[in-house]
Chains A and B, each alone.
Chain A
């Protein structure tokens, strides 16, 4: 049990998918202007990543590995992820039209979020079992949501701050992101287990 807890913490904080592995930067910068929508994006991504981790594990173990079709891995994974994203898009559109509109273009873009493809591939690379794979995906996406909402909250404050004209908008956001990444480096010293 403690093994899973360690995996959760290490994926969410120590090896944070955005700030340490630098995956999924595109929604990180794109959907972090408003706290509400970034949290919604985080939840949607969490769902997709967790689903994709499980589904891709099954795909790898029951289809690709037995048939020796390892070279089709990226292609088939993308197929599964795209389907999962389509699915979640329908759900979000039905359940919360407001969130659907705020996420706008970024919702289909979850497909091309490199974190979503990256995590199943890492799962295969590190030969995780099914539960381990799902935990790994879930922990990482919780880390993604955490960082995204934190960053959105900071950017909301930043929008009110007096920033030199040349730094206004994206530039100062990058400075902020780098500072946030630096602080997450601090978790590397965390002793787990």
Chain B
């Protein structure tokens, strides 16, 4: 009766010591990956992904709690880069893409209150108090922070119009 108990205990102890030693030798300090992914993110902390800032999103992506394509600001380019880094495959066609948007100011109702540009994470809104504001569309990430601030509803998200520069051939539907 005693023999099996002792031998299995002995075996467990032996393996435990080996593993304990190995854990020391092969210890991984922190997770460098989180930092790397955070470096790839836009860094605007816009909150569109529903995580606390880009750092939070990076942690969630590494933990697998968030998909690599969770950042709407980064779009497909970022999703692809993160997926490649994580070594996971990603179905980009599933990425709901309502088309890029950018904030635009309706000049007829803007009162120049200067609230919106204080919350813009990329300084994309130009203006001063009592001056009509304007948005640099190139720098806008469509995070929507400004629309919440506007007292008159003058600033809103509009789809970026299709021009010759960004038009693309439709994908042919094959039999």
* Residues on A facing B (Cβ under 8 Å): 33-34, 36-37, 59, 63, 67, 69, 72, 75-76, 79-80, 83, 86-87, 90-91, 93-94, 97-99, 101-102
Complex CA gap A83/B86 in Å reads 27
Contact A98 B11 (CB under 8 A): no
| Of B7, B12, B15, B28, the contact of A63 (CB 8 Å cutoff) | B7
Complex CA gap A101/B87 in Å reads 7
Closest 6 CB pairs of A and B: A83-B15, A90-B26, A102-B87, A94-B26, A98-B87, A101-B87
Closest to A72 in B: B4
| Of A67, A83, A86, A93, the contact of B7 (CB 8 Å cutoff) | A67
B28: min CB distance to chain A, Å? 6
A35: min CB distance to chain B, Å? 12
Complex CA gap A67/B33 in Å reads 49
Cβ contacts under 8 Å, A34 to chain B:
89
Contact B12 A86 (CB under 8 A): no
| Of A83, A93, A94, the contact of B18 (CB 8 Å cutoff) | A83
Task: Please encode chain B, from 1 to 44, with 1 for each CB lying within 8 Å of some chain A CB and 0 for all others.
Answer: 00110011001100100110011001110001100000000000
Cβ contacts under 8 Å, B8 to chain A:
72, 75-76, 79
Complex CA gap A69/B11 in Å reads 13
User: Does B88 make an interface contact (CB < 8 A)?
Assistant: yes
Contact A101 B86 (CB under 8 A): yes
- Judged by DSSP, the binding face of A is helix
| Of A76, A90, A93, A97, the contact of B11 (CB 8 Å cutoff) | A76
Cβ contacts under 8 Å, A99 to chain B:
87
Indicate the member of B11, B33, B86 with the most A CB atoms within 10 Å: B11
B86-133 residues with Cβ-Cβ distance < 8 A to A are 86-89
A55: min CB distance to chain B, Å? 9
Complex CA gap A75/B9 in Å reads 12
Contact B26 A79 (CB under 8 A): no
B166: min CB distance to chain A, Å? 28
Complex CA gap A72/B3 in Å reads 11
Cβ contacts under 8 Å, A59 to chain B:
11
User: If A33-B89, A34-B89, A80-B15 touch, does A91 touch B26 (CB 8 Å cutoff)?
Assistant: yes
Contacts A33-B89, A67-B3 known; list 10 others, CB within 8 Å: A72-B7, A72-B8, A79-B8, A86-B19, A91-B22, A91-B26, A93-B28, A94-B28, A97-B33, A101-B87
